[in-house]
Amino acid sequence: MNLKQAKIIFLIFFIFALIQSSLVCSLVSAEEYLWAGANQYQLWFQRLGRIQQQLNAMQEANLSVLRIFLGHRAQYLSWEDPPEAYTFEDPVGTFHDENLEKVDYLMSECQKRGIRLIIALSVHSKPYLDKYGPVNIYSSAASISDHKNRFSHFLNHYNSYLGKAWKDCDEVVYAWEIQNEAGIPLLDVTGLSSQERHDMIRNFLSELASHLKQIDPNTKVSLGIAGYANYYHQGKSGDDIRTLGNIPDADIYTLHFYGGNLSKWIDDNLSYCRSINKLLFVEEFGDTRSAGMSELKNLYSSVCNICRERGIPWMFWRLGHRKDENTYSVNSDDAVWQDVIVPEAQQILQTVTSDNWGIHPATAVEACGEVEQDFQISCFPNPFNRAIQFNVKNSSGIEKIDIFNLTGQLIFSKKIPIRQGDFQFIWGAKDSSGSEIPSGVYFAIFTRSNQKQLTRKILFIK
């Protein structure tokens, strides 16, 4: 029997056992919680030590999502170091995969830490604006075709660190973003009505959302819009959420906040997005360091509170190490990080949401529908990198703990003397032979003598 056959037999046996059980178990969602994240659009281009430092800071602060851009930067135009130019495509149709390989590395480092990525696949800059201009970049069939070719090239790129194409990296890529702030180039264009601008942006986003879903139906699609055309721009950017309406293949609508009435913006759009089955969150907010750390703390605290009270996630602009007054960078040694970002990120992780974000690795558990309410298991920390502690409430009847990897292979098993009351079990991330397991997702299954089970999904990161 080969490995593939063994895996198939295991899955068949496991499903049969569930069906035959007197209490049929099914995959159910536990309470889902909100999340927080950070923008660092060119972290993939940073020095390796900088990548490690900033990802470690995110992990320690419980920031679950990182947003990056696959953009274009001219020589010495830098918001972070190094100042060299970079591009992913220039001219249109000529790709520079050496930079995709840098993103490959960042993906692998995020995967180790349980950090998910929102990847903006395009920005309104060279070489597309040079070729098409600010109107045709959105209205031209040739431009849309070129964007589709770009997206296909990126999603089919093979990540040698993870051993698969980007479109299959579901454990690390949370969402494909069509474009950062689509419609902003239209601000200085005259002779177009607001309706024409909205129709143009709607068609552009609809075509590309559909294309992304055809390539990768399992990953969310985000619009990446600023979303405030009717608040700041009198409709000139064409990206007002309610006017854009229901874009069928998009999953996430976004707001970028840099002053104004955020409460009104969210209140105007959240119920509408939920009515058309879309997710909404504040994808960018912040100010330059020239505002002063006290003012930044007030701003960050206000935005985080507004988002938490209305039940939506947030991502700040932006994670970085620079200290000059004209930058938006915030890093782990800043007071706004320590006094606002860390406690707010922890608090939002404990805020229950009815929206289906599916960010956290431990939000799905396999449980028997009729299992007693006192058979409860929690695990901490999760993700973990040395050991994980399982806390079992009212453990009466528990006789074994089995841990499986994603392929269905049993890697660890421990029999538990049947006892009364609560107990704790610490697992040191080693298999039954005493060897350390590789990084990845595992399933801990607790079985009672009556064959009732609870499963916890856990993530080990070296």
For residue range 242-295, what is the model confidence (pLDDT) as tens digits? Answer: 999 999 999 999 999 999 999 999 999 999 999 999 999 999 999 999 999 999
pLDDT, residue 4, reads 53
171-192 pLDDT, tens digit per residue, is 899 999 999 999 999 999 999 9
pLDDT band at 14 (very low <50, low <70, confident <90, very high): very low
**pLDDT > 90 fraction of the chain, expressed in percent and rounded:** 61
Could you give the 3-state DSSP secondary structure of residue 221?
Answer: strand
pLDDT, residue 144, reads 98
95-130 pLDDT, tens digit per residue, is 999 999 999 999 999 988 889 999 999 998 889 999
pLDDT band at 331 (very low <50, low <70, confident <90, very high): very high
Find the DSSP H helices in 114-253. 128-139, 141-155, 194-215, 229-232, 241-244
Higher-pLDDT residue of 16, 264: 264
pLDDT band at 383 (very low <50, low <70, confident <90, very high): confident
- Which residues is 446 bridged to in the sheet? 401, 454
User: Which amino acid is located at 62 in the chain?
Assistant: N
40-68 pLDDT, tens digit per residue, is 999 999 988 899 999 999 988 989 999 99
H or E stretch covering 300: helix 293-310
- Strands 252-257 and 279-285, sheet pairing: parallel
Pairwise CA distance, residues 47 & 49, whole Å: 6
Q: Is the pLDDT of residue 369 over 80?
A: no
Is-above-0.85 flag for pTM? Answer: no
Q: Which residues contact 225 (CB under 8 A, 6 or more apart)?
A: 181, 182, 183, 201, 205, 239, 241, 244, 253, 254, 256
CB 407 within 8 A of CB 7: yes
CB 65 within 8 A of CB 345: no
Token duo for residue 396? 């009466």
Ranking 5-9, 136-140, 424-428, 438-442 by mean pLDDT, the lowest is: 5-9
Q: Is the pLDDT of residue 29 over 60?
A: no
387-434 pLDDT, tens digit per residue, is 898 887 766 667 788 898 876 788 999 887 766 667 788 899 999 999
pLDDT, residue 408, reads 73
CB 282 within 8 A of CB 307: yes
Ranking 167-171, 316-320, 455-459 by mean pLDDT, the lowest is: 455-459
Render the burial of 245-278: b for 16+ CB within 10 Å, e for the rest. Answer: eebebbbbbbbbbeeeebeebbebbbeebeeeeb
Ranking 155-164, 201-210, 218-227, 446-455 by mean pLDDT, the lowest is: 446-455
Q: Which residues contact 264 (CB under 8 A, 6 or more apart)?
A: none
Pairwise CA distance, residues 368 & 25, whole Å: 4
Find the radius of gyration of the CA atoms of the chain: 24
Q: Is the pLDDT of residue 162 over 80?
A: yes
φ/ψ of 237, rounded to 5, equals -90, -10
pLDDT band at 442 (very low <50, low <70, confident <90, very high): confident
The top-scoring range by mean pLDDT among 34-43, 76-85, 349-358, 438-447 is 34-43
pLDDT, mean over the chain: 86
CB 162 within 8 A of CB 172: yes
Render the burial of 14-29: b for 16+ CB within 10 Å, e for the rest. Answer: eeeebeeeeeebeeee
Pairwise CA distance, residues 57 & 66, whole Å: 12
pLDDT, residue 11, reads 47
Token duo for residue 239? 């990206």
179-229 pLDDT, tens digit per residue, is 999 999 999 999 999 999 999 999 999 999 999 999 999 999 999 999 987
Pairwise CA distance, residues 311 & 274, whole Å: 12
Pairwise CA distance, residues 291 & 313, whole Å: 24
Ranking 81-85, 104-108, 325-329 by mean pLDDT, the lowest is: 81-85
- Strands 32-33 and 423-427, sheet pairing: unpaired
- Which residues is 33 bridged to in the sheet? 352
Segment 371-399 mean pLDDT: 72
Higher-pLDDT residue of 167, 125: 167
- Which residues is 410 bridged to in the sheet? 404
- Which residues is 285 bridged to in the sheet? 257
